[in-house]
Amino acid sequence: MSKRDSSLSKDQYNLLNAFKKQISNLHAAVKVPEPQIEVDPIAEEMALFTKEMRGVEKLEASNRAQVRVAAQKKLDAQTLAKRAAAMGPMQTDDALLSDTVATLNPVGSQANLSYRIATLQHKVFEDLKAGNLRWFEAVDLHGCTVEQARVAVLQIIQIAKDENQNVIKIVHGKGPDAILKTYVNGWLRQHRDVLAFVSAPEKQGGTGAVLVLLKRSEKNPKFNQ
């Protein structure tokens, strides 16, 4: 509608324009609320996780860190003997190991040693023979004199008892004369804390070593742990 064609007066025309402007401003001020969309929190978290993991690649097996179990300790018999000479022998319950028993029963370098007390359960003895019982400490008697070897055997047994451990390994070797092997065989048969011993499985030393099963001491505070 133009001013020329309108039958309205000028004042009426201005009033109408002002009214139209007010209506336009009112429509602009009123905002239509946007529809609310429900969000699944699990889907939202998965989407966020996927976004954060973008570009991350799965490691190949060859790139994984190799975790190695610390090897069990093998004590030096000569070091044990020297320590005993310098500090005095450890408490060994006054175990007396006769050499006569050993020398009267020599063993061959390739002989399989085997001993058990009568009351030991058969399954336990078979587990010892198979190497299924994990040994706590080992001592290598190579290069020792007979007396050094005796001290080392007594001390390794006492160390295990103090730690409430009951399986040890003694490496005596298998030289042509099997001297230390013969003495170890005789000494272990006399020791009151020895329940059994056998030549080790091939992968653990074979006939050059023995696995020894010891009693656990009820007086040891670690006994019930």
**Per-residue pLDDT tens over the stretch 96-148:** 788 888 888 899 999 999 999 999 999 999 999 999 999 999 999 999 999 99
Q: What is the CATH number of domain 74-214?
A: 3.30.1370.110
Give, in order, the Cα–Cα distances in Å from 202 to each of 135, 143, 157, 176, 208: 15, 22, 23, 19, 9
> For residue 194, which of 152, 145, 146, 160 has the smallest C-alpha distance?
160
24 pLDDT band (50/70/90 cuts)? confident
pLDDT score of 84 more than 60: no
